[in-house]
Structure 1
Amino acid sequence: MTVNNRSVVRNVSIYVLWLLVVVYAVVKLMNSVLPLHIPTAIGLLIPIVFWLLHGALRYKWSGILTFLVLCLVVSNLLENTSILTGFPFGHYYYTDAFGPKLFQVPLLVGFAYFPGYSAWVLATVLIGDIDRKSSAFTTFAVPFIASFGMVANDLGLDPTISTINHVFIWEQGGGYFGVPFTNYVGWLFTAYVLFQLFALFLRFRRTDSKEEVSAFPKSYYAQAIIVFAVVGLAYVVSYLSGSGDTLVTDAMGVVWHTRSIAEAEATVSIFTMIFIAALSTVKLLQRSATATSASIETGSGETTTREISPELK
């Protein structure tokens, strides 16, 4: 494929991605205000399609499909291990709410990990992308930071799907609305293993040395930030629009108010997911402003911009 053809494909793909961003934002936020009762599989389909295309643009299909396979394998292995031994998440089990299982873990769970790719993209905005020229520090730092971004989403998700919806049951309950501390430590560990394996794949995979990675527009990274922020914002919208309050009981017999759960999830989301999205936005704008300023000062435009920020031109 020639450079011109590659550029056309990329531009068309960016427009398609924007369409998916809008559709996802509308569906996600509307579902928080007026429950549309969208099946979980369909609710996962839009972000999965978005991240497949988004990831393929940056890492090619071989790269993003490798990430998907890692999600399926790592999640199933470690979740089955935890169900059997308690490591790394704690003691719990899945009900039949998520459909067919591979051993003790629903097949759908592996695909639910895949949108965690958004945390990876935001981490690359904050720290830098990973390729064959990346330093050992970057190869470690990006997965480390991305892991916290992935756990941030889980902080807003687990009390609802566990204590309220009973998708999985914590056998000994937990202090965070029926979810234990070990769950989030386990999530951090699992996410780090997943992201670190992907980072090593990118760092050492063979690529065509003659193929230059051309600059991606800021909008490409903005799309990832918006999708990540929409997930966090949905918890806030759900709390603000909700009026009902019922009582739910966890496996240990502790009673919780659903309104309190929604309030906690909204609060946590503002200061984790939405904060991370805001920080990434500032970083994106800062790099762009720095590159533009340097270009004006030197009068060497494109060359200087590429040297300072090749991926955020």
Structure 2
Amino acid sequence: MADTASTVSERLPSTRSEMEARLDRLIRDNRFTISVVFPLVGGVLLVASRLGLLPPPLAFNAFLILLGTAVMRSPLVVGTLPLFDRRAVAGVSGLALYAYAIEYTGVKTGWPYGEFHYGVDLGPTVEGIPLGLPIFFLPLVMNSYLLCLLLLGERAENALVRPLTVVLAVLAMDVVLDPGAVALGFWVYPGVSPDGGFYGVPLTNYAGWVLSATVAVVTLDWAFDRHALLARLSRCEFMLDDLVSFVILWGSVNLVFGNYVPAAVAVLFGVGLLRTDRFNAGLLRPSWLR
């Protein structure tokens, strides 16, 4: 028994760098499953739930939604983990609190996104706000920020170009996300008919996202060293795999429900990933075929 405990202890990482290296290897060895299989299966389950093809225990199962989302977020989390110091923890924590505060304000007052309510159980809530909200909100901004850093190159040094481009990218991501979420019934805008607004989403929602994106970009600029982010991106090929999942999941959901403009915008994000060499053979070929 003592020998077994000793063996287990030896296998556990003893330093932060060892833990980060093991997590890197875990994500790298499972890229295809995490970033292709999970969004495809998730998309099928969500559409089947919306169409009433799954029984109640499985239809829009909150645990499965949160688990699937957490798994798809894991490349981004592991990719940025080595960059987390006290400043980064403070910045991300502040953004999480901001996400709760602005969502609570939105649910209670209709500002700034427009009057809405949740139509699907997204897990435990506090005052009507899902506890898992940060894993839905923060990656949208972080993925946009990282993609824009890569695409802008030296222009990312411009203090006006960088935040403006990231805000527009976050807005474009919501152009993909919200129509798909409304089609699935994740949230409902009671003042907008299914054929009204932008695929059932009020235009005020996007004005609200300009505000939230601006706050988030300013916070990320303060919390993270851009040059350290770029250095990590250059040696961590899976760091934007969560955006690959986003393109596959929400692009396909929008396509199924006839939301062709949001689906086309999702494709544009895929093109952006191609330009940064993120749709590469290491991702598209599972480890068991190598």
Scaled by the length of structure 1, the TM-score of the pair is 0.64
Q: Equivalents in 2 of 1:144, 1:233: separation in Å?
A: 26
Query: Match of 1:30?
Result: 41
Contact 2:180–2:253 (CA<8 Å) still a contact in 1?
A: no
Q: Equivalents in 2 of 1:158, 1:142: separation in Å?
A: 24
Query: Cα distance, 1:180 vs. partner?
Result: 0.8
1:49-64 mapped onto 2 (5 Å cutoff): 49-57=74-82, 59-62=83-86, 64=88
Query: Cα distance, 1:92 vs. partner?
Result: 1.8
Q: C-alpha offsets along residues 187-226 of structure 1, whole Å, 9 cap, x if unaligned?
A: 12202201211212336xxxxxxxx999547351x32344
1:112-261 mapped onto 2 (5 Å cutoff): 112-116=136-140, 117-127=142-152, 137-138=158-159, 141-165=161-185, 167-173=186-192, 174-202=196-224, 215-216=231-232, 218-220=234-236, 222-238=237-253, 259-261=257-259
Amino acid in the other structure paired with 1:17: I
Q: Equivalents in 1 of 2:174, 2:181: separation in Å?
A: 10
Contact 1:71–1:114 (CA<8 Å) still a contact in 2?
A: yes
Query: Match of 1:101?
Result: 125
Q: Equivalents in 1 of 2:263, 2:244: separation in Å?
A: 12
Aligned identity (percent) is: 18
Contact 2:99–2:133 (CA<8 Å) still a contact in 1?
A: yes
> RMSD in angstroms over aligned alpha carbons?
3.6
Q: C-alpha offsets along residues 97-136 of structure 1, whole Å, 9 cap, x if unaligned?
A: 223333342222232112222222212223469xxxx96x
Query: Cα distance, 1:7 vs. partner?
Result: 7.9
Contact 1:55–1:63 (CA<8 Å) still a contact in 2?
A: no
Q: Equivalents in 2 of 1:260, 1:215: separation in Å?
A: 40
Query: Cα distance, 1:142 vs. partner?
Result: 3.5
Q: Equivalents in 2 of 1:112, 1:50: separation in Å?
A: 14
Q: C-alpha offsets along residues 255-281 of structure 1, whole Å, 9 cap, x if unaligned?
A: xxxx323x443223113x223323444
Q: Which moved more, 1:24-33 or 1:183-192?
A: 24-33
Amino acid in the other structure paired with 1:168: W
Q: Equivalents in 1 of 2:219, 2:87: separation in Å?
A: 12
Equivalenced residue count is 243
Q: Equivalents in 2 of 1:19, 1:65: separation in Å?
A: 27
Contact 1:71–1:113 (CA<8 Å) still a contact in 2?
A: no
1:68-79 mapped onto 2 (5 Å cutoff): 68-79=92-103
Amino acid in the other structure paired with 2:242: V
Query: Cα distance, 1:30 vs. partner?
Result: 3.3
Alpha-carbon distance change, 228 to 67 in structure 1, aligned in 2, over 3 angstroms: farther
Q: Which moved more, 1:223-232 or 1:11-20?
A: 11-20
Scaled by the length of structure 2, the TM-score of the pair is 0.68
Contact 1:48–1:114 (CA<8 Å) still a contact in 2?
A: no
- In structure 2, the gaps of 5 or more residues are 1-14, 49-57, 279-290
1:7-18 mapped onto 2 (5 Å cutoff): 12-18=22-28
For the pair shown, the structure with the greater C-alpha radius of gyration is 1
Q: Equivalents in 2 of 1:182, 1:154: separation in Å?
A: 12
Amino acid in the other structure paired with 1:227: D
Contact 1:101–1:107 (CA<8 Å) still a contact in 2?
A: yes
Query: Match of 1:83?
Result: 107
Alpha-carbon distance change, 66 to 278 in structure 1, aligned in 2, over 3 angstroms: farther
1:42 to 61, 64, 67: 67
Q: Secondary structure at the match of 1:223?
A: coil
Q: Equivalents in 1 of 2:174, 2:214: separation in Å?
A: 14
Amino acid in the other structure paired with 1:126: L
